[in-house]
Amino acid sequence: MTFTSDSAATGLSNALNYGNQPGDAVTSTTAVFQSLSIDDQLAVLWYAYTEMGRSITPAATGAARLQLAAGLLTQIKQMSHADQLNVMRDLAAKKNTPICRSYGILSNNTKLAFWYELSELMVKGLVAPMPAGYQLSRDGVQVLEAIKELDFGQQITVLRKVVAEMGVDPLAD
Report the distance separating Cα 62 and Cα 71, nearest Å: 19
Phi/psi zone of residue 30: left (φ > 0), alpha (ψ -120 to 50 degrees), beta? alpha
Give the pTM: 0.81
Residue 52 CB partners (closer than 8 Å, separation 6+): 147, 148, 155
Per-residue pLDDT, averaged over 6-15, amounts to 47
CATH superfamily, domain at 5-164:
Orange carotenoid-binding protein, N-terminal domain (1.10.2090.10)
Q: What is the pLDDT of residue 77?
A: 96
pLDDT, tens only, 32-84: 999 999 999 999 998 888 877 655 544 545 545 677 789 999 999 999 999 99
**CA proximity to 16, closest of 146, 116, 110:** 146
Asked which of 11-25, 122-136, 142-156 is least confident by mean pLDDT, the reply is 11-25
- In the chain, where are the structural domains located? 5-164
What is the C-alpha end-to-end distance of the chain, expressed in Å?
25
